[in-house]
Structure 1
Amino acid sequence: MSTSLRARSGSARATFFTAYSAVALAQITNALPGALNGTFAAEFHTSGAGLTWIAGIFMIGVVVFELSWGLLGDLFGRKKLLYVGAGLSIAGSVLAGLAPTTGVMITAQAIGGIGAGILFPISLSMIAAITPDHRARARVIATWAGFLSLGAVISPVLSGLTSQLFTVPGAGAGDPNVFSGWRVAYFIAAAIALGVMVSATRAQDSAAPEGRRLDLPGQATLALGLIAALYATVRAVDAGFGAWDVITGYLAGGILLILFVVVESRTEQPLIHLSLFRNRAYSITGIVAVTGMFAFLAVCYSTSVAVGGLALAETWKVGVLFVFIQGPAFVFIPVVGWLIHHVAPRWVLTSGFALMAVSGYWLSTFPLGTPEAFGGTPWTAFMLPLLLLGIGFALTVGSITAVAINTVDEHHIGMASATTNLLRDLGFALGPVLGSVIAFGIGATAFAAPLAGILTGAGLTPAAVEGLSNVPPLAFLSGWSDVVGTFSGSALSGGAPAEAVDGMVRSLTGVQPQIQGAAGSSLGRGFQAVYLTAGIAATVSAFLTLFITSASTSAPGTAADAADAADESAEAKAGL
């Protein structure tokens, strides 16, 4: 059977249009929560772990199956997989637009993440399959990357505009009778996904089943291992690392990932060739793919929560900040392409990580946790450091793959690119997950003493102080009424007289401003620590790339070499 089968009917133009629209859609749905975390905290009264799941589970859906979707497209036809991906994007977006609770929103994000995880490689493989010439293929791949970047720019603008234009004026956050404008952004994403499905009916199909076989044991152990480990980390945000389910999650994840290594070392067609990591230069590239992209997403997530959730900035302002982050990746496409052609990619990579490090260190000096109206850091102060982050990301996100494929033998280029993509996306997933562990852990520790002092000074009993000391600081900010209701209900069920409970509730309400101020400043210290950690991670990444000494990365490549490298990278990601 031929390695590339095309349907007799179908338009090449429709195929390109469908693929470019699909990757833009996938990135729009991926980036939508970035500007909305503060809104989610206010509307859903969610915990720190809830925000982490909303932000992180989308990328988990992309990462855990990333190496298999391209192969399934090869086996069963890429257009069929694109229909599935677009259909899941519709389902996830509609469910997110209707979500009444954190749990439903998390489910919607998981569905949307799996859909996007299909669309990313399948859209690329569809256009690569109908572009046999290497130079032409390199051009369409660059265009595909441009539409991916365009989706990242559209998303924060879309969330900001819809929140500003469609939210009912004067409504309180979390009011069930209010239609929140951010939901319109998800309905628009669903409409775009429907358009992709309609466009795909005229697109050409392709497949490459010869010699292809799905590594089910490897896929299962990798997916379950990553999910277990990431679940344990997210659960630790609220429960702490000593909780039994956190320990169990880490143990299960560790065992499954060890089994994955065993399986991959014995199978003839592994998801990942472990021999790649015997190459020191490639191993370094793999490490910085994780640490560098962790730094990027940790800053993005921290900015969303710190500016939108703690400083209470309007959603459109957070959207503008995310344009400063995502915009350079789109605007600098020709610049980065020229640099990779004329400058050794590892130097481009090092420079990008250095800019990201400066951004992280700079942001860590900002006082956080206080609304601008009460003397907090103005939202406009974030623009310049976030622009540096965006430029650094533009320089690194493509250069990581370029450096990786230049550090291995020619016959390993495809697998090296695919594995690097997986590691890079794992770094994306870890950004909000580890960022939350750091921010909410430090925030809770810093909040304990001030909270106890405020409650004791307000005349609450020691038992009441002890009970409220277990409430995380974010709950006092995003769900005050829930905290008070739970406290009074618990006190009444414990046998406290109704009059005494009413008195404590009045005392608690009287010190609400002090408690919320302490909660905000405590969480602000936590997010300062995340920024600092991101700066350190980016610094380590920049330093490590200096030790990539492969001859092919020490000097600029020719235009033909760059075209071939881009071609191989696309084929690996697409599963060709």
Structure 2
Amino acid sequence: MSQATPTDTGGIHAPRAGARAWFALVVLMLPVLLVSVDNTVLSFALPEIAVALAPSGAEQLWIIDAYPLVLAGLLVTMGTLGDRFGRRRMLLIGATGFAAVSALAAFAPTAGLLIVARVLLGFFGAMLMPSTLSLLRSIFLNRDQRRMAIAVWASAFSAGSALGPIVGGFLLEHFAWGSVFLIAVPVLIPLLIAAPLLVPESRDPSPGRIDPISILLSMAAMIPVVYAIKSFAVDGPTFLAAGWALLGIVMGTLFVRRQLRAQTPMLDMALFRRGSFSGAILVNLLSVVALVGFLYFVPQHLQLVLGMSPMTAGLALVPGMLAVIVAGLTIVPISRRFPPHVVVPAALVFSVVGYILVAFTTEGHGALPLIIAFVVLGIGIGAAETISNELILSNAPAAKAGAASAVSETAYELGAVLGTAVLGGIITAFYRGALVIPDAVPAEAAHAARETLAGAFTTAQQLPEAVGSALWDAAASAFESGVTVTSLIGAGLVVAAGVIAAVTLRTPASR
């Protein structure tokens, strides 16, 4: 990793950035921190939103899903527009819109208007994320400095994920549900003031013409795929989910064919022929799947099985998030001495060990084994994410940094959706299959208990003590058996990421 790639205009001998660049990095961390907090904080407010706005089941689902669907569908488009019109400009427009819509969402009087606000948040959020990462490419030309900057950038994601449950728990204990949206305003106002002073503008000097058809095809490819994954997670395999997935694949194929034929494509498909680019994206994707899948079932275990409050459960996850941050920063000097095809698989060994610890120490051992397992898993994920993001940027021409960053962000969003859908779906299926309902439980209560662990918890509290206790013991046991199987599958995904890294990250030109 110490040598610049052929498409990397900055290398180890490029000019080193000064203090102003590092202050600019602090400014660019603000939207990253905000978006990662938003990923986890809304789930804490959903019960209060349901009471206040009385949404239907479909509306409640759309309150959650509208944001990531729009965000994922527009990331590549917004990254490309940033390359053309200016990445700082897109960042400022996105921050202004995100802050304004967040203030409106906090006081939405109906579920329908809240869904509209979530759609607009996805629209403006898609401007924020590719801009932050691509601006690092133009601010830090020296590759060693850029590695450290990307490590700090990735750490902001981890810090936000850790802060989400804590911030959400605190706000909802003291304020109304709208407070989880209002936190965007004090975070983004400093960005709007400082970015014009500290962050230089950058854009593609030869952007070519805007291609509306490619923009529509990219959205028509991403949105159906993400929706199909979410539909599978909620309803299982259905013809509707398969139809959406097929539509996304068809639109994606048309998008790729159009890019291959265009003189100035919206997204340069030749990048994917470079092993260190496509391999880094796959490592990024699988690492996020493993991390988000872990964060799906472990909080349920901490809160429902072990009886922790949401805020205490959030605090229990902080050591693991700190491990992600520390590993991301520590891997930078190590990556100067060892190539990525060695460093990334070695780091991911820690994550495999973490998942194995979860598989064999969860049942009957309290919270400590889970905390230790998350620390070990976080070491591997933090290191792999830093190196993969740096490789994605370094293998793309500086003029196309926005589009490359958008691909990285899209992998992150897809990984987050897949982590919940695949690993979450697996644990739910094993839970339902392993749950043995006591004979004394009424049919309606049994149905609610089979749906989710939370449903079993609520149902058990409403039944007579002896029957409720028997039902809860059966539900907790079934859930823990699902955790074991899901953890082993998660370990397998991390092993796959390590193998991909070992094969594809050997040389920039590897296929």
Query: TM-score, normalising length from structure 2?
Result: 0.77
Q: 1:532 aligns with which of 483, 488, 508?
A: 488
How far off its partner does 1:23 sit? 2.8
Distance in structure 2 (CA, Å) of the matches to 1:81 and 1:316: 35
Does 2:255 match 1:260? yes
Structure 2 CA distance for partners of 1:520 and 1:189, relative to 1, 3 Å: farther
Query: Would the alpha carbon gap of residues 553 and 264 (structure 1) be closer, same or farther in structure 2, given more than 3 Å must change?
Result: closer
**Equivalent residue in structure 2 for 1:70, among 79, 84, 100:** 79
Q: What is the CA-CA distance between 1:42 and the residue it aligns to? A: 8.8
- 542-551 or 254-263, which moves further after superposition? 542-551
Query: Which residue type is aligned with residue 152 of structure 2?
Result: G
5 Å-filtered alignment, 1:366-515, equals 366-367=361-362, 377-402=365-390, 419-420=407-408, 422-447=410-435, 450-451=436-437, 453-454=438-439, 457-458=440-441, 460=442, 464=443, 468=447, 472-474=451-453, 476-477=455-456, 480=459, 511-515=467-471
- Per-residue deviation at 1:354? 1.4
Q: CA deviation at 1:184?
A: 4.3
Distance 2:396 2:167 in 1: 48
Aligned 1:69-88 pairs, distance under 5 A: 69-88=78-97
CA contact (8 A) 2:275 2:507 kept: no
The alpha carbon displacement at 1:86 in A equals 1.4
1:149 paired residue among 133, 136, 155: 155
The residue type paired with residue 134 of structure 1 is L
| CA deviation after TM superposition for structure 1 residue 349, in Å | 0.5
Corresponding residue SS for 2:503? coil
Cα separation, partners in 2 of 1:187 and 1:420, compared to 1, 3 Å: closer
One of 329, 341, 344 as aligned partner of 1:346: 341
Query: 196, 210, 216: which is aligned to 2:191?
Result: 196
In structure 1, what residue type is equivalent to 2:258?
Answer: V
Post-superposition Cα deviations, 1:237-293, rounded to whole Å, max 9, x if no partner, equal 332213x42232223223222222322222223344334444566554443332232
Counterpart of 2:99? 90
What is the count of residue pairs matched by the alignment?
Answer: 488
1:289 corresponds, among 249, 263, 284, to 284
The range that moved more, 469-478 or 395-404, is 469-478
- Could you say what the CA RMSD is over the residues aligned between the two structures, in angstroms? 4.4
Instruction: Rate the CA distance shift 1:55–1:442 in 2: closer, same or farther, 3 A.
Output: farther
Tell me, yes or no, if the aligned pair for 1:97 and 1:184 is still in contact at 8 Å. yes
Counterpart residue number, 2:26: 20
CA distance in 2, matches of 1:480, 1:467: 8
Q: Report Cα offsets for 1:50-96 as digits up to 9, x if no partner.
A: 99977776555544333332332343344442233213432564466
**Alignment partner, residue 563 of structure 1:** none
Question: Which residue in 1 is equivalent to 2:237?
Answer: 241
CA deviations 1:142-194 (Å, max 9, x no partner) are 346425524632553464256247616xxxxxxxxxx46x8645433332123
Aligned to 2:10: none
1:173 aligned residue: none
1:216 match: 212
One-letter amino acid of the structure 2 residue matched with residue 400 of structure 1: S
Alpha-carbon displacement from aligned partner over 1:465-521 (angstroms, at most 9, x marks no partner): 69937961346247659xx9xxxxxxxxxxxxxxxxxxxxx9789844444444444
Q: Percent identity?
A: 19
Question: Matched residues in 2 for 1:217 and 1:101: separation?
Answer: 35
Unaligned runs of 5+ in 1: 1-11, 169-178, 369-375, 485-505, 555-576
Deviation of 1:540 after TM superposition, in Å, equals 1.6
CA contact (8 A) 1:159 1:185 kept: no
Over alpha carbons, which structure has the higher Rg? 1
Q: Helix, strand or coil: the match of 2:415?
A: helix
TM-superposed CA distance for 1:386, in Å, is 0.7
Structure 1 residues 358, 429: CA separation in 2 closer, same or farther (over 3 Å shift)?
A: same
CA contact (8 A) 1:34 1:304 kept: no
Amino acid at match of 2:219: A
CA 521–253 in structure 1, closer or farther in 2 if over 3 Å, else same: farther
Q: How does 1:49-68 map to 2 (within 5 A)?
A: 60-68=69-77
Question: Which residue number in structure 2 is paired with residue 550 of structure 1?
Answer: 506
What letter matches 1:222 in structure 2?
S
Bigger drift between 153-162 and 92-101 goes to 92-101
SS in 2 for 1:268: coil
Aligned partners of 1:253, 1:537: CA distance in 2, in Å?
A: 24
| Deviation for aligned residue 1:536 | 0.7
1:163 maps to: 169
- Taking the aligned partners of 1:196 and 1:524, their CA distance within structure 2 comes to 44
Query: Which residue type is aligned with residue 64 of structure 1?
Result: G
Q: What's the offset of the Cα at 1:342?
A: 0.9
Letter in 1 for 2:427: A
CA distance in 2, matches of 1:102, 1:412: 42
Query: In 2 relative to 1, CA 387–209 (structure 1 residues): closer, same or farther, beyond 3 Å?
Result: closer
Number of the residue aligned with 2:351: 356
Q: Contact 1:96–1:183 (CA<8 Å) still a contact in 2? A: yes
Counterparts in 2 of 1:313-352, with a 5 A limit? 313-352=308-347
Aligned to 2:141: 134
Change (3 A) 1:473 1:510: farther
Cα offset, 1:340, TM superposition: 1.3
Deviation sequence 1:205-262 (CA, Å, 0-9, x none): 63536421344333322322222122122222332213x4223222322322222232
1:283–1:121 Cα change, 3 Å: closer
CA contact (8 A) 1:344 1:553 kept: no
Amino acid at match of 1:546: A
Unaligned runs of 5+ in 2: 1-17
Q: 1:238 to 1:204 in 2, by over 3 A?
A: closer
Which amino acid in the other structure matches residue 426 of structure 1? L
Would you say the 8 A contact 2:50–2:60 is kept in 1?
no
